[in-house]
Amino acid sequence: MRASSTSLRSKDLLGIETLIPEEIALILDTAEGFKEVSERHVKKVPALRGQLVINLFMEASTRTRVSFEIAEKRLSADTLNFSSSGSSVEKGETLIDTADNLVAMQPNMIVMRHKHPGSARMLAERYPNISIINGGDGSHEHPTQALLDAFTMRERLGRLNGVNVTIVGDIKYSRVVRSNIHLLTKMNANVTLAAPPTLMPVEIDKLGVRVVHSLDEAIEGADVVMMLRIQLERQGKLSFPSLREYYNTFGLTRERLRRAKKGVLVMHPGPMNRGVEIASDVADDPNYSVILEQVTNGVAVRMAVLYLLGGAHSTES
C-alpha cells in the first residue's frame, strides 16, 4: 500500500492504535526519502530549521534517544536533551511541573519517554500547540519502534500484506509488541505470538493474532521472527523458573530457525540479552539478522515522523 494522503490527522504521535493504514503508509513512504539523506556525504536538510525539539526522557534509553537526536539534527532542528538524572525530578518535582517549565521555553515538539502508560497523551492534551511524540510509555506503546520494524520488513520483503511475522518473548510487558500488533494487523500481515503462558496476556488473541506456547510451532513458515527482551524491570520477579530454562525452550537458535521460510528475517528491538532470548551466532549472522538495519532505519523513520508533524506544513506555507 502506498500513501494517498499527504499529512497526518493529528498533531501528535501517541501510538499506532489510532493511525489508519494510509497514515502508516505515508510515514513509511516519507522515510524512504529520508533514508537517502542519511546516505549522503552531507547528512542534513533544512526541513525543521528554527524549530526546537525537546527530548524528554524520564526512563533509560540508548537507541531511541540517540536516534531521535540524530534525526532532529539531520532535519536542522535545535535540540535539547532532558533526563531525570541530575534534574529537579530527583528533588521531587512532578512530571507536570517539569513539563510546564520546559514548555515555557517554547518548544515546537516534545519527544517523551516515561514509565507510566498514558503519560504522552496527558501532555498532548495539556499542550494543544505542541506536538508530542511518544518515545515509549510504560508497557503501553512504542510507535516509532513499530514503524521502523515495518519499514525494515517492507524494504527487505517488498510488502507487508500477507507477511508471516512471529513475535517471541515477553509479550505481557512489552510496549514494542503492542505497537507492532496494531501496525501489522492494520497492514494485513499475519501475526503469531509465542511465549510461556505466564508472559502471554489474557485474551490478546482478540487483537487478531495467533497465540501459541511452542517456539517451534511459532517459527514454522515465518517470514520474520522478532525476538523480545525479558522485561525484568517491569516483572519484578521471574515469570519462569530460570533464564537458562527460558533459553532452552524459547531462545532462538540456528537449529530452531531452520523451521522458518528460506530467507527469514531475524529482528530484535534491543537491547539484546544474548544467551537468553537469542543465540549470538543468530544475532550476528548477516544471512538472517537485520537488527542493525533496524537501528539505521530508525533514524529515517523518526525523521519522517518529525517532518510530518513539524516540518511538512511549515515548508508548504
Cβ neighbours, 10 Å, residue 36:
9
In the prediction, which pLDDT does 88 show? 59
Largest CA distance in the chain: 59
Highest mean pLDDT among 3-17, 84-98, 140-154: 140-154
Cell 532462538 locates to 252
Residue 272 has pLDDT above 60, yes or no: yes
Indicate if 43 belongs to the active site. Answer: no
**DSSP state letter for 60:** -
CA angle 19, 21, 22 (to 5 degrees): 100
Domain spanning 143-294, CATH class: alpha beta
Q: Same topology for domains 21-142+296-316 and 143-294, yes or no?
A: yes
Cβ neighbours, 10 Å, residue 133:
25
Indicate if 30 belongs to the active site. Answer: no
Record the cell numbers describing residue 14, joined without a space: 501517541
Tell me the backbone φ, ψ of residue 132, rounded to 5 degrees: -110, 130
Indicate if 63 belongs to the active site. Answer: yes
Catalytic entry in 35, 65, 74, 113: 113
Domain 21-142+296-316 has CATH 3.40.50.1370: yes
Catalytic entry in 63, 210, 234, 274: 63
Per-residue pLDDT tens digits for 253-262: 999 999 999 9
Alpha carbon distance 154, 229 (integer Å) = 23
Catalytic entry in 30, 64, 79, 166: 64
Helix (H) or strand (E) holding 110: strand 109-114
* Mean pLDDT (whole number) for 194-206: 94
Q: Which residues pair with 134 in a beta bridge?
A: 112
In the prediction, which pLDDT does 241 show? 62
**Domain spans of the chain?**
21-142+296-316, 143-294
302 exposure class (CB count in 10 Å sphere: 0-12, 13-18, 19+): buried
Residue 89: which pLDDT band, with cuts at 50, 70 and 90?
low
Four-CA torsion 290, 150, 134, 299, nearest 10 degrees:
50
The pTM for the full model equals 0.92
For residue 42, what are the contacts with CB-CB under 8 A and spacing of at least 6? none
Measured CA distances, 252 to 161, 211, 257, 258, 277 (Å): 25, 18, 7, 10, 6
Catalytic entry in 142, 154, 172, 302: 142
Residue 235 has pLDDT above 90, yes or no: no
In the prediction, which pLDDT does 232 show? 60
Q: What is the mean pLDDT of the chain?
A: 91
